[in-house]
């Protein structure tokens, strides 16, 4: 697997603004935020993209999704709401080949039909 910028962030070789960490996930602020709150959540056990979830057990997938929900709560977004985005592959606009959930919030987000 490609050694991505997120591998380097997880190893502490590149600085990041950590907002949450436990044994399963690492969450940090996006360097180029598109909303007042824009956080990326990555699994410590690497997957390259969302479609790799098919190789995991339902429990493992559920654990990751649950952590994303917990991070959003820790960020204070639970009451007003937020958006979770997974960009998957080329057509999905994925730039970094390390699976990550975007948590977006802090304002009422619009939805473009592209």
Per DSSP, helices labelled H in the chain are 5-10, 58-74
62: number of Cβ within 10 Å: 11
Which span sits near ligand 5GP by CB under 6 A: 56-64, 70-78, 91-99, 103-111?
91-99
- Out of 93, 111, 112, 113, the only residue in the binding site for ligand 5GP (CB under 6 A) is 93
The answer to whether residue 84 forms part of the interface with ligand 5GP (CB under 6 A) is no
- 16 φ, ψ to 5°? -150, 160
Which span sits near ligand 5GP by CB under 6 A: 45-53, 59-67, 94-102, 106-114?
94-102
Which residue, chain included where needed, has tokens 């690497």? 46
The answer to whether residue 54 forms part of the interface with ligand 5GP (CB under 6 A) is no
How far apart (Å, rounded) are the C-alpha atoms in residues 66 and 72? Answer: 10
Residue 41 buriedness (CB in 10 A; 0-12 / 13-18 / 19+): buried
Q: Which of the residues 1 through 40 are near ligand 5GP (CB under 6 A)?
A: 5, 14, 16, 28-32, 40
The answer to whether 102 is a known catalytic residue is no
| Residues at the site binding ligand 5GP, with contacts judged by CB under 6 A | 5, 14, 16, 28-32, 40, 87, 93-96
Name the residues annotated as catalytic: 100
């Amino acid at each position: 697997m490609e050694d991505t910028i997120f591998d380097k962030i997880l190893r502490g070789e590149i600085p990041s603004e950590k907002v949450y960490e436990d044994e399963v996930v690492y969450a940090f602020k996006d360097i180029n935020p598109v909303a007042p709150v824009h956080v990326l959540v990555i699994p410590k056990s690497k997957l390259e993209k969302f479609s790799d979830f098919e190789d995991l057990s339902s429990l493992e997938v559920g654990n990751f999704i649950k952590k994303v929900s917990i991070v959003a709560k820790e960020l204070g977004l639970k009451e007003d709401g937020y958006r979770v985005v997974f960009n998957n592959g080329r057509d999905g606009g994925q730039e970094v080949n390390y699976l990550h959930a975007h948590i977006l919030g802090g304002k009422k987000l619009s939805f473009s039909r592209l």
